[in-house]
Amino acid sequence: MTNDALARDVKPTPAQLNQPRVPATTFKAYKTMRGKNGERGPVAPRPLPGVPPRPHSFRLHDSVKLADDSLTTKPAPRPPPRLPKPPPPKRQRVDATSDVGTPEERRVWPLTQHAIERHNAAGEDIAKAPPAPAPTPPYAIKQSATGLGMYATATLYPADIILSEVPLLTTRRGATPGDVRAQLRAAPPGNWLELLQLCVGSGDARPAIESLLDTNGIPCASEDADNPPFGIFKVASRINHSCAPNAGWYWCSVKKALLVVAYRKIKEGDEITASYLSPEVLCKPRAERRERTLVGFGFECACVACEQGGARSDEQRAIIARVLAAGRQMDHWVGAHAASIRQAKEAIEAMRAEALVPVAAELRLLQYYVHAAWREDASAEVAARKALEALAAVRGWHAAKAHFVAKFVKDVTCWRSYGVCKPAESGRAPRHSKPAPK
Ligand SMILES: C[S@@+](CC[C@H](N)C(=O)[O-])C[C@H]1O[C@@H](n2cnc3c(N)ncnc32)[C@H](O)[C@@H]1O
């Protein structure tokens, strides 16, 4: 075997491979640090012939200088011992059967599947804070059959916050054009431009500014007030009206912003609509609704529900209207147990058929009152939970949790203590609680 072949065959051992390699430059400099007799310490390089030695100017390689300093100067204080890092807080993983929050919160916080998924994905504590709108807007403003409109660019689920927006301008009905102009002068100049691009009622004889405010104004108050302030919005004012809205808005007094929330599942590409009419008016027949939109907002409604709905739709809405009216006469409603339960069920079916989410919470609440008054606790709890979920879809989870309905979920018997009705004393024996229908 030749020397070359031998060299090729001799492979380094694993220990040799693991030895730290000394950079060539460092090694060269290291050699200069050792004296002839092997003593340690920096040694001046030998003076070149003809060049006078410069005792303090010799320059070693940087790495050697460091080594040199560490030998001659006081050793640097040792860094404090590293404490072991605390383990990252475990994110609670939930599934369809578990809830987040405290046990108390869990009673008032039934979770929808989507909310669970979002909690798991984002790690947000949905039991504590209202969910924030998605980081990328899940909508686009595009041409619709009735001017511009808002369209979903992703699938949306009930109670999803689609948009959170502050108004360009807030005013009250009855404010003079002069008041509005003064307000606009005080607003940032960009707001003017945005405002002027909004839609103005067609064929409206009133001054443009008045027409613009009436057409695009959205109430900005958390409570139903007599003359609530209303705001004009760059984006939300582009949302068209529907008599079967798949979304809606409410004013969040904490954020001082309008929140647009999904009432039901909205598929990507669908138009996002809201109702300009109250839930009571939505239960009226089509002709009446159209008249209301014409008188109140200057257009005859051309939504899908109006275009496709006929006598059947009017009938369904009439059923809901009857139950809502009956339910307001509380004594009669809770006293007529069997009839009320049947009517509430019918109205809930009609609400589903008409996709009228804005009345869902009230119908469920009426169901709750009868069950609770007749000591049907399990059914009462189901009705109260459904009322809360419906409320969350319309007003957001945060507002729903603060609503009195949440109390009924916590304690289904609490309504009885209001003493509005005592059916047990009306001659009929109270019923025993029976298991809730699944
Ligand atoms: C607040 S704006 C909505 C956005 C508007 N489409 C735009 O282009 O800016 C209200 C106006 O939209 C139109 N509109 C909204 N909903 C409608 C509906 N259901 N039927 C007919 N027109 C509607 C009417 O012209 C109304 O005056």
Cβ(377)–Cβ(433) below 8 Å: yes
Of all atoms in ligand 1, which is nearest to the CA of residue 297? Answer: 27
- Give distance in angstroms: CA of 272 to centre of ligand 1: 12
Count of beta carbons in the 10 Å neighbourhood of residue 394: 24
211 lines ligand 1 (CB under 6 A): no
Does residue 207 or residue 320 have the better pLDDT? 320
pLDDT score for 111:
43
Query: Tokens 């969040």 appear where?
Result: 252
| 179 C-alpha to ligand 1 centroid (Å) | 26
Domains along the chain with CATH numbers: 13-44+58-73 (no CATH), 139-277 (2.170.270.10)
> What is residue 417's DSSP assignment?
G
Cβ of 200 below 6 Å from ligand 1: no
The 10s digit of each residue's pLDDT in 19-72 is 555 444 444 444 444 444 544 444 445 555 665 555 444 443 444 343 344 344
- Looking at ligand 1, which residue's alpha carbon is closest to its atom 12? 240
How many angstroms is it from 61 CA to the middle of ligand 1?
A: 78
What token pair was written down for 97? 């059967």
Ligand 1 atom closest to 273 (CA): 16
End-to-end Cα, the chain, rounded Å: 87
What's the 41 CA to ligand 1 centre distance in angstroms? Answer: 88
Give distance in angstroms: CA of 311 to centre of ligand 1.
25
Cβ 231 vs Cβ 167: under 8 Å: yes
Q: Is 141 in the pocket of ligand 1 (CB under 6 A)?
A: no
> What would the two tokens of residue 314 be?
């009017």
Q: Give residue 50 CA to ligand 1 midpoint distance, Å.
A: 97
Confidence of residue 317 (pLDDT cuts 50, 70, 90): very high
Q: pLDDT per residue over 72-118, tens digit each?
A: 445 567 777 777 776 655 544 443 334 444 444 444 444 444 554 55
Tell me, using a 6 A CB cutoff, whether residue 364 lines ligand 1: no
